[in-house]
Amino acid sequence: MKNITIAIVAIVAAAVGYFGGTSMNKEAPAPAATETETAAVEATLNAVKAKGFVQCGVSQGLPGFSNADDAGNWTGIDVDVCRGVAAAVFGDASKVKYTPLSSKQRFTALASGEIDMLSRNTTWTMTRDTQLGLNFAGVNYYDGQGFLVPTKLGVKSALEMDGANVCSQTGTTTELNVTDFFRENGMKFNLVAFEEADAVVAAYDSGRCDVYTTDRSGLAAQRTKLANPDAHMVLPEIISKEPLGPVVRQGDDQWFNIVRWTLNAMINAEEMGVTSANAKSMANDNNPAIKRLLGTEGTFGAELGLSNDWALNIISQVGNYGESYEAHVGPNTPLKLDRGVNALWSQGGILYAAPVR
Amino acid sequence: MFINSNNLSAFINDARVRNIGFQVLIIGALAFSVWWLMDNTLTNLENRGKSLGFGFLVQTAGFEISDTLGTWLFDYEVGVSSYTDIYFIGITNTLLIAVLGIVFASIIGFGVGIMRLSNNFVLKYFATVYVEIIRNVPLLLQLFFWYFAVLGVLPGARNQLEIWGGLGGLNITGLYLPAPIFQPGFGLVFLAFIASLIIAFVASRISKKKQDETGQGFNLLFIIPALIISITGVTYVIMGSPLDWTFPEFKNTGPIFKRGFQDDAGMVLVPEMLAVLLALTLYTAGFIAEIVRAGIIAVSHGQTEASYSLGLRPSITLRLIVIPQAMRIIIPPLTSQYLNLTKNSSLAVAIAYPELVSIFAGTALNQVGKEIEMIFMVMSTYLIISLITSFFMNWFNARVKIVER
C-alpha cells in the first residue's frame, strides 16, 4: 500500500516538474527578439563543431554530382562542396557524413535540422528561396532541362515531340518545365513520373517512354546507366534555367556565409591559378589577393568564425573549382560535359565569384 | 498526525479516487503532449518564416498527369485545374485500385483457399506453392517484377499485340480497349437496368419464401438473367440504341511520336495501373487464401460428416454448411487484409501510378511546399477510407455471425 502511495506522489511530482520545466524553457527565448536572433546565428556552426562532422544531404546517386562507389565513398562536384565546408570548419575534408535524399525529402530534411546543408543538384528558384525557409548559398553548376531520346527514332528537335510519352522524376521542377514547354508549343504529351531516378532510367530503357527529361547534367549522368548509352542522344533544346547550388536553412547568416564563401573560395582559387598541388607554396606569393584568400594576410577566416587558413585547407584538400569539375564531370569523365557556361567569366563562361577583400 | 496520515493514505488507496486520479493523469498527459506538439510545430514554423493555411488548394496546378480514371472524371487540364482537383484525382485513383483490388483479391483468395483443401493433388500443391511464394516476397519487389519484368517486355510504343481481332490492343504504353460513348437517353437504360436488378432481387426473395413453405422454388438460374436482359434490352431498343463505342486506333504512318495508338480513340489502361493492380491483388489474395483455409478448417469436421450422412453432396455441404459457419471466423481478419490492400496502394508511387501519395503528397507537395497541411490531408484521407471499410465490414460481420439464442 505504502509503495503505491509513494509511486503516485512521485508521478505527480514528476509531472509538476515536467510542466514547470517546459514552461521555463519556453520563457527562455522570449525576452528579446534580438537575443533569439543571435542565438540562431551561431547555432549551426556550434552544433557542427560540437558533433565533429558536417551532415550533408546529397542525391541517391547521380554520377559526377554525388555518387557513392562500391566502398561507400562519395564523390562528385556536389560532394566537393560538402568536403570544402568540412575542410573550412575542421581543417579536414573527410569530416562529412552523407544523407542520401530523394528530391521529395530534401527540403524537409534540411528544414527539420536532420542535415546541416544540402548539396544535391538543387535548382535555385524564387519559390524555394522565399517560401520554404531556405537560402541558396550560390551556384556550383549552371544547368538547364533537356531531352534524351533514342537515336533510332530520328528526332532532331524537341519541337517534333507532339504526342510523345515522357518519363521524369516526381518532386522536381522538371514536371512543371516540361508541361510549360509542351503547352507553349501547342503539343500534346503524356507524362509518366516516377519517384526514384533509377526507376525512370529503367522505364525509359524498357521503352515505356520515348523521351527522358531532366537537367542536362542529369541526362549525361543517367545515360551512363543505360544498356547502350551510345544509342541515345540529348536534343539541342534547353527548356529551362537550372542554377544548381548548395542550400542552407534561413536565419543562420554565419553558416550561410561559410557555405557561400567555401564555394567562392574554390572559384576564386581557379581564377588565381591556385590548385591543390601549389596552394601551400602560393600562400607566400607576392599577389595580395592570393595572400588574403589563403590567410597569410588579413583575418578573413576569423570573420567567418573559422581559422585563418580556412581557404588553404579547402583548396589543398578538395581542390579549386576547375579541378573538381575536371575530376567529376569534365570531358575526361564518363559524363563528358564541356565547361560551356560553367567556365570562368574570364574564359567565356558566367562563373564569377566576389573577391576576398 | 497519525490520524491525518492514516486519512490521507485511506484517501489515496480508495479505489474510486485512484480510478479517477489515474484517468485525470492520463488525460492530462495526453492533452499536454498534444498541446506541446502543436506549440512546438507552430513556433518552429514561425522561426522558419513559414505559415499554415489551406489557401494553396485553389491555386492552379501547372504539371501534366498521366491519363487515368481520375483525370478523366475530373477533366484534368493543366493551368485550369486546381490543387483541389489534384487531391480528388489522387483519391479517385487510390479508390479505383482499392475497390478493384479488393474484388479480385477476394475472388482469387477464396478460390485458392478452397483449392488448398482440395483432394486433388495438383490443385492442392499449385495453391500451396502460390501462397508460399506470394506471401514471402516483399510487395515492393513484386510491384517491380510485374512492372519491369513482365509488362516491360511488351511490344514497344509503335508495335502492338492485337486482341479480339483488333478490337483492343496491348503494348508497353498500356492496354487499349473500346470505350463507351453515352448518348442522350442512356440514363433511362441505366435506370431500367437498376429496376431489373430490383425486380430480380424481389423474385429471388419470393422464390426463397416459396421454397421455405412448400419445398418448391423457381429455377432462378434462368429466370434472373432473363429478367435483367429482357427489361434492359427492351428499353435499350426503345431508346434507339443510345450507346456508341469508340475503338482503339493504331497508326503506322505519320510523325514518329504520332504513330502507335491514338490518344482520342478508345480508352487506355496504363501499364502502371495494371502492374499495381496485379501485384496488390495477387499479394493480398495469398493472405486471404490462408484466412479462408483457416476459417474452413475451424468448422468442426462433424458438421461435414453430419451433412454427408444426410445425403448432401460435397459442393452443397461446402456452400450451405461449411462456408456460412466459416464466414464468421474469416471476416475480421479479412477486414484487416482489405485495409492493408488500400494502404499498400500507396506503394504505387514507385512505379509512377498517379495515386494520392504520388501526385498530391509528391508532385503537388513539392510545388507548394505545405508539408504539414498536405500530409495531414493525406493521412486523414487514408484514415477515413479505412474507417469506412471497417464500418462496412463490421456491419457485414454482425449479419453473418452466430446469433446466440
Quick: pLDDT tens for A296-316.
999 999 999 999 999 999 999
Residues B382 and B304 in one domain: yes
Rounded CA gap, B243 and B189, in Å?
10
Closest residue by Cα to residue B345 from B335, B355, B359: B355
The enclosing H or E element of A131 equals: helix A126-131
- Return the pLDDT at B181: 82
Contact criterion met (CB < 8 Å) for B63 and A22: no
Contact map slice: A 187-216 vs B, CB within 8 A = 188-196, 199, 202-203, 206-208, 210
The gap between the terminal CA atoms of chain B, to the nearest Å, is 60
pLDDT digit string (tens) for A162-178?
889 999 988 667 888 89
pLDDT digit string (tens) for A51-95?
999 999 999 988 899 999 999 999 999 999 999 999 999 999 999
Mean pLDDT of chain A: 86
- Return the pLDDT at A21: 38
Q: Look at residue B127 and tell me if it is in a domain.
A: yes
Residues B167 and B251 in one domain: yes
Neighbours of A259 (CB within 10 A): 29
The CATH number of A145-240 is 3.40.190.10
Structural domain spans, chain A? 2-30, 43-142+244-347, 145-240
Number of H helices, E strands in chain B: 14, 8
Residues B9 and B115 in one domain: no
- Return the pLDDT at B259: 83
Task: Give Cβ neighbours of residue B98 (< 8 Å, ≥ 6 apart).
Answer: B341, B342, B345, B385
Residues B281 and B331 in one domain: yes
Radius of gyration in angstroms for the set of CA atoms belonging to chain B, rounded to a whole number: 28
Rounded CA gap, A349 and A139, in Å?
13
Domain that holds residue B268: 69-178+247-400
Residues B28 and B96 in one domain: no
Contact criterion met (CB < 8 Å) for B256 and A155: yes
Q: Look at residue B215 and tell me if it is in a domain.
A: no
Q: Look at residue B208 and tell me if it is in a domain.
A: no
Contact criterion met (CB < 8 Å) for A103 and B366: yes
Alpha helices, DSSP H only, in B15-82? 15-47, 69-73
- Domain of B363: which CATH number? 1.10.3720.10
Rounded CA gap, A124 and A246, in Å?
9
- Return the pLDDT at A171: 62
Distance of CA A236 to the CA centre of its chain: 26
Residues (pLDDT < 50) of chain B are 1
Q: Look at residue B38 and tell me if it is in a domain.
A: yes
Q: Taking 60 as the threshold, does the pLDDT of residue A31 lie above it?
A: no
Q: Which residue of B has its CA nearest to A29?
A: B43
Residues B15 and B134 in one domain: no
**How big is chain B, counted in residues?**
405
Contact criterion met (CB < 8 Å) for B28 and A171: no
The enclosing H or E element of B58 equals: none
- Return the pLDDT at B362: 86
Residues B29 and B101 in one domain: no
Residues B298 and B379 in one domain: yes
> Do A43-142+244-347 and A145-240 fold alike per CATH?
yes
Under 8 Å between Cβ of A243 and A263: no
Neighbours of A278 (CB within 10 A): 13
The enclosing H or E element of A295 equals: none
Chain A hits for B172, Cβ within 8 Å: 206-208
- Return the pLDDT at B403: 67
Task: Give Cβ neighbours of residue B351 (< 8 Å, ≥ 6 apart).
Answer: A194, A199, B143, B144, B147, B272, B275, B276
Residues B252 and B363 in one domain: yes
Q: Taking 70 as the threshold, does the pLDDT of residue A25 lie above it?
A: no
Q: Look at residue B207 and tell me if it is in a domain.
A: no
Read off the pLDDT band of A34 (50, 70, 90): very low
Pairing of strands A247-249, A134-136: antiparallel
CA B347, B369, B58: angle at the middle one, nearest 5? 95
Rounded CA gap, B373 and B365, in Å?
10
pLDDT digit string (tens) for A212-222?
999 888 898 88
Residues B333 and B255 in one domain: yes
The CATH number corresponding to A43-142+244-347 among 3.40.190.10, 3.40.50.300, 3.40.50.720, 3.40.1050.10 equals 3.40.190.10
Q: How many domains does chain B have?
A: 2
Burial A292-310 (b: 16+ CB within 10 A, else e): bbbbbbeebbeebbbebbb
Q: How many beta-carbon pairs below 8 A join chains A and B?
A: 143
Under 8 Å between Cβ of A193 and B363: yes
Q: Look at residue B359 and tell me if it is in a domain.
A: yes
Distance of CA A202 to the CA centre of its chain: 25
User: Region A17-42: what's the mean pLDDT?
Assistant: 40
Angle at which helices A321-328 and A253-272 cross, to 10°: 80
CA B98, B101, B105: angle at the middle one, nearest 5? 140
Give the Å distances, CA to CA, from B356 to B61, B96, B97, B237, B382. Answer: 15, 11, 11, 41, 9
Contact criterion met (CB < 8 Å) for A176 and B369: no
Pairing of strands A242-244, A232-234: unpaired
Q: Which residues pair with A118 in a beta bridge?
A: A57, A247
Cα of B270 to nearest chain A Cα, Å: 10
Closest residue by Cα to residue A130 from A152, A155, A107, A105: A107
